Amino acid sequence: MPDLKNSAAKYVPDSRDLSVLTDAVQECRGCDLYRNATQAVFGMRDAGPGDVAGVELMMVGEQPGDQEDKQGRPFVGPAGKLLDECLEEAGIDRSQVYVTNAVKHFKWEPRGKIRLHKKPGVREIRACNPWLQAEIQAVEPRLIVCLGSSAAQALLGAQFRVTQSRGVLQHAAGLPPLLATIHPSAILRARTHEDRERERRAFIEDLRQAESILRRVR
């Protein structure tokens, strides 16, 4: 039995219509992150939150950032712009990708006038997991790409390490195949230009591998 006291499960409707889920997530009180967030940020593709016809690839990040929290759309900040550029270089049609996050509310701490990203905890990731599972059931992707450790551990367990299994196809009960790589924000945080370029090239190669896997499973 799930721990409903610290879970979003009781807020997730039975419907797997993404428009219904997108509206319902705004009422989620499965953890305390909603208290300091502007809104919940559900997944979507470029065409809109409810249109997933033809979507084969789902990408899962950690949580919304400052811009995502304000705009109500995933991956619209600096990391999202970098993701768009890398998808294009990898030959992946961004409009055919459903992007979302393991956690639906922005966790942050104040730093002067700036809202600084704060990594969600294991309890928060687990609490939000019913929303992610509902999205997967609604979208029915052929492949999931996990961006960063929080996303990978949300679906593959707390023992999973991206550093050890990056780019290795994973399988988990009840889920489509999964591939884990770094989050685009890790590229932006790299210390030097050379480090950023190296990480960017490696990330694009991971995306190309994802496209290659999709071609095999079609």
- pLDDT at position 1, please? 37
Contact indicator for 63, 132 with CB cutoff of 8 Å:
no
Q: What is the pLDDT of residue 53?
A: 67
Please, what are the averages of pLDDT over each run of 10 residues along the chain (218 residues)? 70 95 96 96 76 85 96 95 97 92 97 92 96 96 97 95 94 96 96 97 97 88
pLDDT score, position 51: 67
Cβ count within 10 A of residue 188: 15
Model pTM? Answer: 0.94
Confidence (pLDDT) at 54: 72
DSSP per-residue string spanning the chain: ---GGG-SGGGS-S---HHHHHHHGGG--SSGGGGG-SS----BBTTBTT--TT--EEEEES---HHHHHHT-SS-SHHHHHHHHHHHHTT--GGGEEEEESS-S--EEEETTEEEE-PPPHHHHHHHHHHHHHHHHHH--SEEEEESHHHHHHHH-TT--HHHHTT--B--TTS--EEEE--HHHHHH-SSHHHHHHHHHHHHHHHHHHHHHHHHH-
pLDDT of amino acid 105 = 98
For residue 110, list its beta bridge partners. Answer: 115
Residue with tokens 């730093």: 111
Select the CATH number that applies to the domain covering 4-217 from these four: 3.40.50.1100, 1.20.1630.10, 3.40.470.10, 3.30.1490.100: 3.40.470.10
